[in-house]
Structure 1
Amino acid sequence: MSELPAPLRAAIARELEGVGRKGLAERAGATSATYRAGGTSAAAIRSAEDALAYALTRLPATYAACVAVFAEAARMAPGFAPKRLLDAGSGTAAASWAAAGQWELEALTWLDASAPFLDMAGRLAEDGPLPQADRLRADLTGAGPWPRADLVVASYALAEIAEARQADVVRSLWAATEGLLALVEPGTPAGFGRILAARSALIAHGAEVLAPCPHARDCPLASPDWCHFSIRLPRSREHRMAKGAELPFEDEKFAYLIAARPGIADADRGARVLAHPRAGKPGIELKLCGPQGLESRFVARREKQAHAKARRLGWGDAL
């Protein structure tokens, strides 16, 4: 399971000191209801208390998804060593923490329209390993241009932008990208739709798709199917109380795209496992997206070496 770094857990605990748990749970519930109804951070996050409720309930899942995405980026581009990060729609800076766990960053820019989010991100990072961040309070749909960076990430940000403006936002983020651009969205059909539209726009502007796609052709998935992945993360006691949950873990579903400038990646693009492998006595069945499109591959138990490798594969892995 993907757990928050110790300094970040300690910072959240410090922010929770003296805060009533009942009121926090009510704020978390109201925030979730606003987002589910299609509201934006401007409507959901109006105070430091709102930002804290969000950090407690949503930061861990965003962090876990970004950890998975950045690990795949590092696997696909092992020679890539970004020093500058632009965290676009940064919120409480979960993506920045995930990136700092994967690479040694030297400069950060947090771009967000929410003052409570930027303030909370700063307080949470005070005693942590993140470099001092430049805070840029601006709307992603603004004119830009945005600060250029080796690594640009927009996690759970496109969902707050009107569909008609999303392509322009993606293009402006790509213009700021000197190495890799990572986009992360909820693992819903709508989230995948935003990723798919961004993929088309980026390919049209010369981007190389690193992951999860093993090719740059049209996506072979057809509705009601959609491409998404899952990562499990632990819930703290406070996390469970704020969400009214009982299980000590949750599974975050996410969709993502990693796009690169030419020459950044040097790893082979193997087929991607699109669902939990189905194991039975005869063998293991894999649902794959490969260089030639969708395929179903059966690995028989009698094929001992191949079967041993297939047993280690999980949803989202690449062959």
Structure 2
Amino acid sequence: MAAELPRALKAAIDRELAGASRRDLADRTAATTEAYRAGRGSASVIKGREDALAYALARLPATYAACGAVFAEARRTAPDFAPRSLLDAGCGPGGGSWAAREAWGSLDAIAWFDASAPFLDLAKRLAGDDLAATSTRGDLAAGPFPRADLVLASYALAEISPAAQPRVVASLWAATEGLLAIVEPGTPAGYARLLAAREALIAAGATILAPCPHHLACPLTAPDWCHFSVRLPRSRDHKLAKGAEVPFEDEKFAYLLAARPGVATEPRAPRVLARPKAGKPGIELKLCTEPGALERRFVPRRDKAAHAIARRLDWGDAL
């Protein structure tokens, strides 16, 4: 099922788009995409209100969808976790905060932290009276961050210099009272950033909830990397901004969920690392398992009970 934006957020985006030039937004979106492909951060292109709006039109739905998928897994692995406070570090226009509020109705205090004034201003306008948050403009590499039950850094580490990333991860973890969620692009570079964060968090005493079912070395080897996918619908304006015809988008993302020792969690389970391959004889699954090994498991059709379970599995699910 495609990940739909909340109705209030869609209405707020539509209000922002009223009277805006779709051609201008498409040009600004293209400039942002070019900057990312060239290895530059959003600060190099998000200079004003129109740039922030173009970014939100093109990227906020994907950010919301990826964070929503990660938070769904957080709810599965830690079903009793009910955060009251959220720190959205590198919040951009606030898509991750909307996803968190949809996942946990218990949230009543949201703190935004971002270096971009245009992003923070847009986040406030989109929130209106539907999402109460306080905002702080600051450099993620410098902090400091307020403590929160749930800490989110979505598509934020890519904006920070490699030398500063370990310090930022340590600061995010220090601010975490319960769960830390880090979401990155589903690229080899995003995966590499998460591997480094994972190693540091384990050394700091964190429990890795997902996607890894273990604390051992990642069993994947290049050119393979750990990432997942979520499908989201494209509105007419979204398609125009991205120059796309297809009515949906598949957002590739990588993520890490880390918990403080006091958070109650479900037992570990193998993770499906690719779309299951179904054929007449049965279904083949690519799994990351609890012993820290990569396994290809074949579930024959003749084993009706196991096959029925395998048929319901998708990329990213826990077995």
TM-score grouping bracket, smaller chain normalisation: over 0.9
Match of 2:168 in 1: 169
Quote the offset at 1:66 in angstroms. 0.2
Query: Which residue identity is paired with 2:255?
Result: Y
Deviations 1:253-305 (A, max 9, x none): 00000000003132011000000000111100100000121111111100001
Give TM-score, length-normalised by structure 1: 0.98
Quote the offset at 1:42 in angstroms. 1.6
Mind listing any 5+ residue stretches in structure 2 that lack a counterpart?
Answer: none
Q: Distance in 2 between matches of 1:177 and 1:145?
A: 13
Moved over 6 A (4+): none
Match of 1:110 in 2: 112
Match of 2:35 in 1: 34
Q: Distance in 2 between matches of 1:167 and 1:298?
A: 39
Quote the offset at 1:133 in angstroms. 1.0
Q: Distance in 1 between matches of 2:279 and 2:42?
A: 46
Aligned pairs (5 A) from 1:1-319 = 1-104=2-105, 105-128=107-130, 130=131, 132-142=132-142, 144-292=143-291, 293-319=293-319
Q: Distance in 2 between matches of 1:24 and 1:283?
A: 47
Q: Verify the 8 A CA contact 1:35 1:44 in the aligned structure 2.
A: no
Mind listing any 5+ residue stretches in structure 1 that lack a counterpart?
Answer: none
Aligned length in residues: 316
Deviations 1:228-256 (A, max 9, x none): 00000000000000110000001000000
Query: Which residue identity is paired with 2:283?
Result: I
Query: Which residue identity is paired with 1:307?
Result: H
What secondary structure sits across from 1:8 in the alignment? helix
TM-align CA RMSD: 0.7
Query: Which residue identity is paired with 2:58?
Result: T
Percentage of pairs with the same residue? 68
Quote the offset at 1:167 in angstroms. 0.6
Q: Distance in 2 between matches of 1:18 and 1:80?
A: 43
Q: Verify the 8 A CA contact 1:288 1:296 in the aligned structure 2.
A: yes
What secondary structure sits across from 2:219 in the alignment? coil
Quote the offset at 1:127 in angstroms. 3.7
Q: Distance in 1 between matches of 2:110 and 2:175?
A: 13
Q: Distance in 2 between matches of 1:24 and 1:222?
A: 40
Quote the offset at 1:41 in angstroms. 2.1
